Structure 1
Amino acid sequence: MTEKIYLKNPYLMEVNAKVIENKFEDNKFYVKLNRTIFYPHMSGGQPRDKGYIDDIEVYDVYEQNNEIIHVLRDMPNKDIVKLSIEWDTRFKHMQQHTGQHILSASFDKLLNSKTLSFHMGQDINYIDIDTQCLTQNDIDKIESFANKIVFSNFEIQNYIINKEECSKLPLRNLPTVDEDIRIVEINKLDFSPCGGTHHRSTAEVGIIKIINWYKTKKYHRVEFVCGVSALNDYKEKNYLSQKISKILQVNQNKAIETISRINTDIDNLKKSNTILKTKLLSYKTNWLINSSVKYKNIKICSDIVDDFDLNEIRKLISNVTNYNNYVVIIGIESEDKSEILLGKSDNVSIDIKGLFDTILTKINGKGGGTPSICQGGCNDPKIVYEALEFGLSLIKEEIDRKEN
């Protein structure tokens, strides 16, 4: 069994160890040592350590049958090797994991809410709390209480007990093993079975910041960051706050008020725009009807527009074809493509889908529709006029064919 030095002394960054076994598989070496300072990946919810064995990068570390397996791209050429871990990663993980103990203990003591699970991520961590009710006031109290524990610089200890001794301690959660149970104790405030790396005192956590919380079907998920991660989170959010304030040309403490006012202005503009668009569509409908060209017994409406979107054009065509004996063809002119819409009244018997397919073939376009209205186009912005003229000629040919 590998001696897990990281549990006894998580501050040790370098150590020598003996290679016990190695295996080559899938272009990787899997190495067992007599002892290690490398924490295995996602053991107890904590990510692995990063570092080197004799200057060879360790790509992965995992635990298997109480043995720690180190995954390398190359094999050390000595039996006694030097292990070195990346301290910034270890320290960050210690801050997040110790902070989680403090935060979970705070929920337990103030709200009598148990922690169901814990996840440590690259940027944020979360705990799932066994409660159906959690308010902003609760979050504020929990966060303040947790940080008082941090700032009090309480001693943190870890020790091994057996199963019988568990009943003598007020454990926050039950152990998952029956022997060699490792307890992490925070100055008689919290006792928790845990196999992670932790600080010697709560002050090293720096600060605990809850950044989000929300309800799921069965519990509340609380997202948080600690120490260095909290500092990075603050830097990023402070930068964004400064950038927003600069764009708005107001002080940071006025940004929310200004954004709220802008949102109100936008809502009012949207309402005004909707009213104007409705009036414009009504005007355009009347213009199309009045400018229609009667061919045989069918009234043909055509136009090329650049001030309406597709939904508005479809509404415009529907407005016209609600009347009998109309066929409408409209082109949309834009910088990067040409689009055509073709529609007819229900009492007009011509096959506009067939006509539209012919138009699409002519312009090498794509599209489709229903027996009443079709739309499509191509990536050539200059072809819209040609497509409209071609469509008009097809409509007249189809009307002639129906009469014959």
Structure 2
Amino acid sequence: MTILIQGATLPTGETTDLLVEGGVIAERGTGITSAGAQVIDASGLQALPGLVDLHTHLREPGFEQSETVLTGSRAAAAGGFTAVHAMANTFPVGDTAGVVEQVASLGAQHGYVTVRPIGAVTVGLAGERLSEIGAMAQSRAQVRVFSDDGMCVHDPLLMRRALEYVSTFGGVVAQHAQEPRLTENAQMNEGELSSRLGLAGWPAVAEESIIARDVLLAEHVGERLHICHLSTAGSVEVVRWAKARGIRVTAEVTPHHLLLTEQLVESYDPRFKVNPPLRRDEDVHALRAALADGTIDIVATDHAPHPVESKECAWAEASFGMVGLESALSVVQESVVDSGQLDWSDVARVLSSAPAQIGLLEGYAAAFEVGSPAHVTLYDPSARSDFGIERLRGKGINSPYLGRSLPGRVVATLHGGVPTVLDGELRPAEEVARG
């Protein structure tokens, strides 16, 4: 398939044509012609390297009522993503080579995005003994990121051993920073509002204390550490201090923690129930500033679909989590681009090249260069509309943005030169699978 993208604006601000052949960028410049090529008019569109999510819950195997690799991949493509890293909290847990190979194989079969499984750090996410880390790393899935996300690796000795083990093949441990004893029965951010609403508080120190412990462990063993969904101003300061000391730590923030605050919990709408919880307005501003100055390295969605019955219920019984793949780029634009804190080259970094680098995913370092894989997202930043349920292309509809006006629209997504989205619409699965 040959595709000619005409008049796209690159993250640098340059306007150019891109000729895609054989899955790679074959030519770049102005006035390119190619007989028989499928032409995409990208005038006024922002071209970005295909987005990479380091934190996605695809739920399969075991929780297919919430999401599958296929439906989650479709949601990802609709949001402009060309690669996702699938968390291990499935059933069975992704703690063996067999399970992670199954997930990777399903992703390759469907073709909407590259699916890279994340392996569990501990067996069954139980935090008692290390999983088959080496076997998963050597498997066909080539796992390089390990996390018990949804659970914290709370035992410091196990955490140290995991950091040392994954370093033998260049991997990284991604920590869900939540001190379990400090968050028992917690329902929302701890503070004046939680007291007024009568909901058990989730203190910021539960996150900050684990991050502080783990950056010191990473310094002690001299290895890499990644922090999942950082959410407080205090956590920002810990990571900033660690980086100033030369500790090899990276951190992510979710789109929802860049935009939404705990005030939304006053509605008792379970769409706003998430782990870690929505925080104070001061935390949101600290997270935005930290993303802008590089203290926080990337944006990751923590896409967490749930069945309707798990969200349309009383707050205390509702599951934690939000879907976020389809809305991520719009929320990043709303929170940090339109405010002037990030430009489009920054967006390309925090949503593509940096997460690919952390996850050791090849093909994203030389985006748009001739010969590089054609992972391309075309985005219209001038569009604006109410975010409706029709924008959700996975199984989960537990989005906190339904009915909210958001900027931007993904017009096209190319995964390895294969269009997965054209004219804002997902291509049929059989066409994508055929390439």
**Superposed pair shares fold, TM > 0.5:** no
TM-score (norm 1): 0.18
TM-score (norm 2): 0.17
Which structure is higher in RCO with an 8 Å CA cutoff and minimum separation 6?
Answer: 2
- Please identify which structure carries the higher strand content: 1
